[in-house]
Amino acid sequence: MDSRPLLSRRTTLAAGLGTAGLAAATGAGCSARLPGSASPAASTKPGSEGVSPDVQIVVGLVGAMRRSVTLLEDTRAQHPKLAAQVTPLLAVQRRHLAVLRQAAPADSLSAGRSSTPTVPARAARAMDQVLRTTEALRTTCYSSAAAAESGTFARLLAGMGAGLSQRLALAKASR
C-alpha cells in the first residue's frame, strides 16, 4: 500500500516536498500522502511542468468545491426555508474543502469569490440546482479518485464522493 505523503502543508507542497498535513485538518492522525512535485523550484500553477498530477487534481477539486460551497451558501441565504436541507450538504463540502485547501499550492488559491450560477427565485428550483451541483461534485471526486496516482489519495477522494452520496440520499429522501 502507498505509504508516501498524501496531502502536504501548503508551503511544503509548493516546494515540491510533502509531509502529512491531512492529520491536522481531520484530527484523525492520518498520514496519507501525495507524491511530491518533480522539482522543488517548480511552479505550482495548474498545468505547469513539474507539478504532479495529484497536485493538479487537488487544485481542480478545490476550485470545484469552492464554487459549490458558494452556491450553497447563496442558496441558503436567499431561501432560509431550505436551510434544513442545504446545511448538511454545505457542512460536508466545507469539511472536504478545508482538507484539500491545506494541500493546494498557495498561488492556486485566488482571492475573492468564486463565480457561481444565479440562485433561482423559486425554492424548489433552487434546491434542484443544489442537488445537481452536489451530484456533479461527487462525479468529480470519483473521476479524480480513479485518476489519482497515490492510492491513499484515491481512497480519500472516493471517501469524499461517498460522503456526498450519503448526504444526497438523505436530502432526496426528505423532499
Partner 1 sequence: MKTDTTGIDSLQATLAGEHAAVYVFGVLAAQTSQSAQPKLWGALDEAYLWHRAARDELVARITAAGRAPVAASVSYRLPNAVANAGQVTAAALLTEHRLTDVYGTLVAETAGGLRRWAIRSLDESAVRQLRFRGRPEIFPGTGGLGSQG
Q: Which residues of this chain interact with partner 1, rule CB under 8 A?
A: 1-2, 22, 26-28, 30, 32, 88, 91-92, 95-96, 142, 145-146, 151-152, 154-156, 158-163, 165-167, 169-170
Q: Least distance from C-beta 2 to partner 1, angstroms? A: 7
- Please say whether the beta carbons of 100 and 62 come within 8 A: yes
CB-nearer residue toward partner 1: 3 or 11: 3
Q: Tell me the C-alpha to C-alpha distance, in Å, between residue 148 and each of 16, 125, 127.
A: 17, 34, 31
Residue 84, C-beta contacts closer than 8 angstroms, at least 6 positions apart? 174
- Please say whether the beta carbons of 150 and 54 come within 8 A: yes
Q: Least distance from C-beta 134 to partner 1, angstroms? A: 13
Q: Using CA atoms, how far apart are residues 163 and 126, in angstroms rounded to an integer?
A: 22
CB-nearer residue toward partner 1: 42 or 57: 57
CB-nearer residue toward partner 1: 31 or 78: 31
